[in-house]
Amino acid sequence: MTTLTRSLVATFVFLLGSALLMAPPSATAQNQPGELSLGIQGGLTQSQLTGSGVSASSQQGYSGGVSFQYHVNETLSVELGAVYTERGADGVTTSGAPNTSSPAFDYDDDRLSINYYDFPLLVKVTAPLEAVKLRAMAGPALSFVRSAEENGRSTQRNIESTPPVERRFLLYDFSGVVGGELAVPFPGVVNGEVALDGRYTFGLDNIDQTQGFELKNRTLSGSLIFRFAI
């Protein structure tokens, strides 16, 4: 774990702990049926690229965005998010299938940075606890490529017919999301809360479209969310 990761994790824990200590003892953790909330979030990502014959190590990044959460009842909620997420991997090594494109476009210990706009649609189930809101979540996410770089460059080597890096990947990715969330009332804000969110996002599509090898996104993310009723 890097110094940056430790510092951000410590900050998340401090802010969540402070909210727990400051929350009034009488605060309820029950969802309010029919309530719509806006969430503002930011956090860290630990991403990886996997696939048959792919060797790579994980890469750290950031995420941030907004979400709208609707409480169907005290237990069930639905959330739609719009999140900018940094993904990719370090030390990516793989080669294409025979007779596929050019070996010059294979990866040999390269760094790939692929940034997305994510739109997750999640179903959340809240445990019947008194002091906190403990939620489990799952659902699909549709993502669109914002930008992509190989070793810090947005274009490939100067080779005839070389496609820009962005065009080497699908413009979209369809993913599954599972995770959990711990939320407490936010002091001084009616129906407001602060939450610590952890998710695992597993891409279902092969995002490579030039070389004949398989690349799929895998991302662990943690976020601090401030949420209030609107």
Instruction: Give the tokens for residue 140.
Output: 């699909």
pLDDT tens digits, 74-120: 999 999 999 999 999 999 998 776 655 566 678 889 999 999 999 99
Of 135, 130, 125, which Cα lies nearest the Cα of 29?
Answer: 130
CATH for 3-23+41-229 (1.20.1440, 3.30.2250, 2.40.160, 1.20.120): 2.40.160
- Looking at per-residue pLDDT, the higher value among 153 and 59 belongs to 59
Q: What is the pLDDT of residue 105?
A: 74
Q: What is the pLDDT of residue 4?
A: 47
Q: State the Cα–Cα distance between residues 42 and 226, nearest whole angstrom.
A: 9
Q: For residues 84 and 114, is the Cβ–Cβ distance under 8 A?
A: no
Average pLDDT over residues 160-174: 79
Average pLDDT over residues 180-203: 90
Residue with tokens 């092969």: 206
**How far from the centroid of its chain's Cα atoms is residue 210's Cα?**
25
pLDDT of 11 over the 80 cut = no
- Looking at per-residue pLDDT, the higher value among 101 and 179 belongs to 179
